[in-house]
Structure 1
């Protein structure tokens, strides 16, 4: 095999430096050693790579033809070295984040572009799960981080980062019974019998209990599917304010008016992980990037 990781490095150093002496300085070697390495490579390839008729080392046409692939090989070797070092430092092969369906928009995705640049070999997986399911997967160890609404109690096995908040608005189509509350606010007895569409998976209890107000519930794991059902007059729902505000402004949707509480609800969002399970390099970096986002100003989901 003519080309090795070492010969590729020497070859490119001479191409970039323009002479054996410049390549030697870059590699920390004497020029005669660089010249010998190149001569050995040329002998194995049976072709001339550099014109030595002057004090400079001028790449031949063959060298220029080989250069692009040599640079690709060097890049891959550098990536391999970096990956090996990151694994040694604790980089996980895959970072898995579970989140409640209600939180699939917002600041949580902003750190991913930085992670992709800093750890190009790190695989990222985002799983949609109900709040209770996301926490269960966290404790089972199948995910490293869970993005959930703030819970009333504290689990001593967990630690968390407050990542922002989400403003939910109760909305219905203008001709839906829930929309009649604009003139006559809905009381609790009326509300429990009007169908509510909840963004959750599995069971309504998988969602934040503050969001579930009706006995008659339909479930969806997608904001867009929920929005379609609300617009079709199939029920009312709590949906993110940025999603529904343009539709309210144009009269496509209307806010549901309650007689004992506001139609808008702000819920705080936490990123949770398990205390006694060390986080990998990717998860730790993700949290540090989220902390920077939180410090820079209010984060909205």
Structure 2
């Protein structure tokens, strides 16, 4: 048999890291073992997989042709291992939920309350972190679940359950000079020239392009800090309407009155978990409970809508 889980891992490691030595470091092996594994694979296939004439091995056309199926095989093997582990998985000793700080008021605590009644000895950890950081904790294994806004694109490593929806609105202080300068005719062009306060993770390379409009951006990883900066008149920002509403009601904030567009972007809120790790019984139960909460809310809304007709 030419391909095995081991030599597929070696083959992909060399492709991903660009050299036998780098692949060996990633796999925690000696370079000679990696080189020998590739040589044996080439001999069994009767195909050259890497051109060794240069300083570093370069993938041949045959290697690139085999790469998609090799990655699929590796993914399937990982899923098989995850499923096998899930068969023996019981209640986790600690359940960690990472929550985007703007969503701390979202409907999640009631599900944890029910879970606590069912498993009173389960240790629960709730961490507030910007969306990018919350997802990074999820993929590193630091957290089992993340409560975040819908992502701009799907990630095959993630599974999710919709929880609710929330309207993101652009807000600023009522005495911000930009509102006065606009003369009651605020347009999207004003956003690009006015400082924006963005809630984002600590990785400067990660920002959700849906929410970065301005050419001048201040960043913070804390929604309360963003709120303070915006109410101080230091810029405008996107906040969930449920989060901003009390501050709009007191006059500390205003939803920006656009002349040519509707102020608001409706986003789903998801609870997300990794497909690469089996969920413990506590995490599974939390997802089921929060899905039940969503379904109950939708049924209540439908009933209220029907009664009003």
Into which bin does the TM-score normalised by the smaller protein fall?
0.5 to 0.7
Alpha-carbon distance in structure 1 between the residues aligned to 2:129 and 2:225: 16
Alpha-carbon distance in structure 2 between the residues aligned to 1:250 and 1:157: 43
Unaligned runs of 5+ in 2: 1-87, 301-309
Alignment: residue pair count: 211
CA 169–111 in structure 1, closer or farther in 2 if over 3 Å, else same: same
Normalised TM-score (structure 1): 0.63
Alpha-carbon distance in structure 2 between the residues aligned to 1:242 and 1:182: 28
Structure number, greater radius of gyration: 1
Tell me which residue corresponds to 1:169.
169
Q: Which moved more, 1:127-136 or 1:142-151?
A: 127-136
Report the RMSD for the aligned CA atoms in angstroms: 2.4
CA 182–109 in structure 1, closer or farther in 2 if over 3 Å, else same: farther
CA 178–110 in structure 1, closer or farther in 2 if over 3 Å, else same: farther
**Residues 92 and 280, structure 2, Cα contact 8 Å, conserved in 1:** yes
Tell me which residue corresponds to 1:120.
120
Tell me which residue corresponds to 2:307.
none
Alpha-carbon distance in structure 1 between the residues aligned to 2:197 and 2:206: 13
Alpha-carbon distance in structure 1 between the residues aligned to 2:147 and 2:204: 18
Moved over 6 A (4+): none
Q: Encode CA deviations 1:3-55: one digit per residue, 9 max, x unaligned.
A: xxxxxxxxxxxxxxxxxxxxxxxxxxxxxxxxxxxxxxxxxxxxxxxxxxxxx
Tell me which residue corresponds to 1:186.
187
Normalised TM-score (structure 2): 0.62
Tell me which residue corresponds to 1:92.
92
How far apart are 1:89 and its partner, in Å?
6.7
CA 118–191 in structure 1, closer or farther in 2 if over 3 Å, else same: same
Residue aligned with 2:209, SS: coil
Unaligned runs of 5+ in 1: 1-87
Q: Encode CA deviations 1:55-112: one digit per residue, 9 max, x unaligned.
A: xxxxxxxxxxxxxxxxxxxxxxxxxxxxxxxxx8701011011122222221122211
**Residues 164 and 294, structure 2, Cα contact 8 Å, conserved in 1:** yes
